[in-house]
Amino acid sequence: MSETADFLYKTTDYYHPESERCIRFDDPDLDIEWPDLGVPLSLSEKDRAGCSFKAAEFFGKS
């Protein structure tokens, strides 16, 4: 992470690895214009295995 930044997030329950999901950061349907940092990306295996937004499991009201 960083020596100068705090990373905070809120959860509704204790960590449950079986409920964890990952969507690819570069999914074209999300259309996020990430800045070019001029260095190769270093992705975790979990991030490399992320699914597309369209294929992601939906949680919530339909």
Residue 26 lies in a domain: yes
Residue 37 lies in a domain: no
Residue 15 lies in a domain: no
Q: Supply the pTM of this predicted model.
A: 0.62
**Cα-based torsion angle of the residue sequence 2, 18, 55, 41 in order, rounded to the nearest 10 degrees:** 30
**Which range marks the domain in which residue 50 is found?**
20-32+45-56
The pLDDT of residue 20 is: 87
Residue 38 lies in a domain: no
Q: What are 1-51's pLDDT values in tens digits?
A: 578 888 888 888 888 888 889 999 999 999 999 999 999 989 999 999 999
What is the Cα–Cα distance from 22 to 44, expressed in whole angstroms?
Answer: 11
Residue 14 lies in a domain: no
What is the Cα–Cα distance from 53 to 23, expressed in whole angstroms?
Answer: 6
Residue 49 lies in a domain: yes
Residue 10 lies in a domain: no
Q: Say how many domains are in the chain.
A: 1
